[in-house]
């Protein structure tokens, strides 16, 4: 299993010199190191946050308008005479045409654009994938607008994260920053995408630390926070300062009802595991469908969603509007309808994601979790009438539980839901729920969804290796040594570094040390290591040795 990148592998192909010797000289040059100060890094992070915020706002606006157009088209069709005989077929035909166009565009110009993009981002941070931002940003933007706009059950948040990361890559290339800083800027862009998508800067910051980097350095912490705050300021200035969900005044969960939070956490953990395994199964099945070109699969999925939209428009699309209605009490549904919505949304999301269309799973997960929480609230309020007054709070706990059970990032889940709802009184109940969901999913031996999708993609398309007839140029990897890892307390001579990997620099307390054979590595040291290009297994081995994970 590929863990969440351990702490951080800091490398990039951006601005790489033409020869390994030139790269090593530039990496070790004092003047070059001085030009990469923390202050400059924070300025770059702020610039990335602003641009990523603008991209996120534009993407959100375009998706809102496309979904509004879909709703207007459905209303117009329903108003026509005898529309029950023919009206239901209009959106499926339109969806099939647009979906096929999206599928062709993705396969032709940006094969890394399918799905949410977060697994691809994790692959970039592991040097198993590359970030071709010039194609990725326009294809992801346009493909997401067309696909989700015609009804695919996917969200905008994952694509916003990937496009934010691409902004970080673009900035690193344009400014020609040292290779040790490139992936930090990529991660800053990803955190900025989360912050702008949800109006949740702390969640964007924690996402970088908990899900992407986990690097214990002030430089990474500060850069991620500056980028997230900058993006959130832009998003609030252009899109409004209200929380992502317009709810308020709902009662908090009392201490006596905390056992209910445990029950919701258990259910969210189980549902999250089922969701993960279903997504993987759909992704595998899409590769084995005979006589159907891959570019047509998004069209087929969009046609299916278009059929459902004729009778149940709240189930298709990202789901944010439906979740807002449910939490705000504007979506009146009995137990039977809630169960139908849960099953239908679950299946449509799995089919849409498995088709390979650009789109994420954040928003569908949140809606699924809210529906699950509402179902449990409906069932539990029958024997316990006092729970009827906290039904909205239970739906919110369901969102956090489903997210944590699938992504396995409990801290991000807690902060994300708090910032999205604007209610900090639920902190205790959210903590209990997310911890229970995380433990439940872990006890079922389930791999977090983004790691599982990355593993699937790497098995399907292994990292490109250099030809045996050519000499592979080394790639610079910058990584921190953690307490308790295999490298901490070991001399370089006996460290067991993989064959072909060379430690060229050791940074300790802000000073560079010559890496002599007898130098003992300490927790907190940061190493610059040359790794053969294309050998992702050795990169991951170095990551595990330095992190102890």
Q: What is the pLDDT of residue 90?
A: 93
Task: Centre a 10 Å sphere on the Cβ of residue 50 and count the other Cβ atoms it contains.
Answer: 18
Burial 143-166 (b: 16+ CB within 10 A, else e): bbbbbbbbbbbbbbbbbbbbbbbb
Would strands 511-513 and 526-532 be described as parallel, antiparallel, or unpaired?
Answer: unpaired
> What is the chain's alpha carbon radius of gyration, rounded to the nearest angstrom?
24
Mean pLDDT of 435-463: 87
Q: What is the pLDDT of residue 13?
A: 37
pLDDT at 509 over 80: no
pLDDT band at 104 (very low <50, low <70, confident <90, very high): very high
pLDDT band at 33 (very low <50, low <70, confident <90, very high): very low
Q: What angle do CA 491, 494, 500 make, to 5 degrees?
A: 110
Q: Are 491 and 525 in contact (CB under 8 A)?
A: no
Least confident among 174-183, 358-367, 406-415? 174-183
Mean pLDDT of 196-223: 79
Q: What is the pLDDT of residue 250?
A: 66
% of the chain surpassing 90 pLDDT: 43
Q: What is the pLDDT of residue 31?
A: 41
pLDDT at 114 over 60: yes
% of the chain surpassing 70 pLDDT: 87
Give the single-character DSSP code of 112. Answer: T
Instruction: Give the span between the Cα atoms of 397 and 391, in whole angstroms.
Output: 10
Q: What is the pLDDT of residue 24?
A: 40
In a 13 Å sphere around the CA of 375, the CA atoms on its Cβ side amount to 20
pLDDT at 411 over 60: yes
Least confident among 207-216, 400-409, 513-522? 207-216
pLDDT at 4 over 60: no
pLDDT band at 142 (very low <50, low <70, confident <90, very high): very high
Q: What is the pLDDT of residue 548?
A: 63
pLDDT band at 177 (very low <50, low <70, confident <90, very high): confident
Q: What is the pLDDT of residue 483?
A: 80
Token pair of 88, please?
């239901």
**pTM, 2 dp:** 0.81
Token pair of 62, please?
């375009």
Element of type H or E holding 485: none
pLDDT at 447 over 70: yes
CA distances from 339 to 334, 335, 344, 369, 399 (A): 9, 6, 9, 12, 16
Mean pLDDT of 485-492: 87
Instruction: Give the span between the Cα atoms of 60 and 45, in whole angstroms.
Output: 22
Instruction: Give the span between the Cα atoms of 385 and 405, in whole angstroms.
Output: 28
Least confident among 12-21, 225-234, 403-412, 442-451? 12-21
Cβ neighbors of 342 (< 8 A, separation 6 or more) are 368, 371, 372, 375
In a 13 Å sphere around the CA of 13, the CA atoms on its Cβ side amount to 13
Average pLDDT, the chain: 83
Domain architecture of the chain: domains with CATH: 36-462 (1.10.3080.10), 467-547 (3.30.70.1450)
Q: What angle do CA 196, 157, 6 make, to 5 degrees?
A: 90
Q: What is the pLDDT of residue 475?
A: 67
pLDDT in tens, 215-258: 556 777 888 899 999 999 999 999 877 777 766 666 778 888 88
Q: What is the pLDDT of residue 468?
A: 36
Q: What is the pLDDT of residue 284?
A: 92
The owner of tokens 């899409």 is 286
pLDDT at 273 over 90: yes
pLDDT in tens, 283-305: 999 888 888 899 999 999 999 99
Q: What is the pLDDT of residue 153?
A: 94
Least confident among 152-161, 274-283, 328-337? 328-337
Would strands 502-508 and 511-513 be described as parallel, antiparallel, or unpaired?
Answer: antiparallel
pLDDT at 38 over 90: no
CA 41 from chain centre, in angstroms, equals 23
Give the single-character DSSP code of 519. Answer: P
Specify which of 88-102, 120-134, 323-337, 535-549 reaches the highest per-range mean pLDDT: 88-102
**Coil, strand, or helix at residue 61?**
helix
């Amino acid at each position: 299993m590929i863990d969440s990148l351990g702490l951080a592998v800091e490398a990039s192909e951006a601005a790489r010199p033409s020869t390994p010797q030139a790269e090593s000289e530039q990496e070790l040059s004092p003047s070059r190191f001085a030009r990469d100060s923390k202050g400059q890094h924070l300025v770059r992070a702020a610039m990335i946050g602003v641009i990523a915020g603008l991209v996120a706002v534009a993407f959100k606006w375009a998706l809102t308008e496309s979904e509004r157009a879909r709703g207007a088209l459905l209303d117009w069709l329903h108003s026509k005479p005898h529309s029950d005989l023919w009206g239901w077929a209009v959106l499926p035909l339109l969806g099939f045409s647009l979906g096929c166009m999206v599928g062709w565009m993705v396969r032709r110009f940006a094969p890394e654009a399918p799905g949410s993009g977060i697994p691809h981002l994790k692959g970039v941070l592991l040097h198993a994938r590359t970030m071709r931002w010039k194609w990725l940003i326009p294809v992801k933007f346009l493909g997401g607008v067309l696909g989700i706009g015609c009804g695919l059950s996917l969200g905008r948040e994952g694509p916003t994260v990937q496009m934010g990361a691409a902004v970080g890559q673009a900035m690193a290339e344009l400014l020609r920053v040292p290779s040790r800083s490139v992936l930090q800027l990529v991660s800053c862009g990803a955190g900025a995408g989360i912050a702008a998508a949800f109006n949740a800067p702390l969640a964007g910051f924690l996402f970088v630390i908990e899900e992407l980097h986990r690097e214990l350095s002030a430089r990474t912490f500060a850069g991620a926070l500056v980028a997230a705050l900058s993006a959130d300021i832009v998003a609030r200035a252009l899109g409004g300062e209200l929380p992502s969900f317009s709810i308020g005044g709902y009662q908090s969960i009392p201490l006596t009802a905390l056992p209910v939070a445990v029950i919701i956490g258990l259910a969210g953990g189980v549902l999250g595991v089922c969701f993960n395994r279903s997504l993987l199964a759909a992704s595998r099945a899409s590769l084995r469908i005979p006589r159907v070109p891959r570019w047509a699969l998004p069209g087929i999925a969009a046609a299916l969603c278009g059929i459902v939209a004729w009778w149940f428009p709240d189930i298709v699309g990202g789901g944010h509007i439906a979740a807002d209605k449910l939490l705000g009490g504007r979506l009146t549904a009995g137990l039977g309808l809630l169960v139908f919505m849960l099953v239908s949304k679950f299946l449509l999301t799995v089919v849409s994601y498995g088709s390979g269309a650009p789109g994420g799973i954040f928003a569908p997960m949140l809606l699924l979790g809210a529906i699950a929480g509402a179902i449990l609230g409906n069932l539990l309020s029958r024997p316990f009438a006092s729970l009827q007054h906290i039904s909205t709070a239970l739906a919110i706990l369901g969102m956090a539980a489903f997210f944590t059970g699938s992504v396995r990032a409990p801290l991000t889940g807690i902060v994300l839901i708090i910032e999205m709802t604007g209610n900090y009184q639920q902190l205790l109940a959210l903590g209990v729920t997310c911890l229970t969901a995380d433990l439940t999913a872990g006890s079922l031996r389930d791999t977090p969804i983004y790691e599982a999708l990355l593993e699937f993609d790497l098995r399907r398309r292994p990292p490109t290796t250099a030809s045996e007839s050519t000499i592979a140029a080394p790639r610079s990897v910058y990584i921190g040594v953690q307490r308790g890892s295999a490298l901490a307390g070991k001399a370089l001579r006996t460290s067991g570094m993989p064959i072909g990997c060379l430690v060229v620099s050791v940074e300790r307390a802000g000073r560079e040390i010559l890496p002599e054979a007898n130098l003992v590595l300490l927790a907190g040291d940061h190493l610059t290591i040359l790794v053969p290009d294309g050998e992702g297994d050795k990169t991951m081995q170095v990551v595990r040795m330095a992190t102890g994970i």
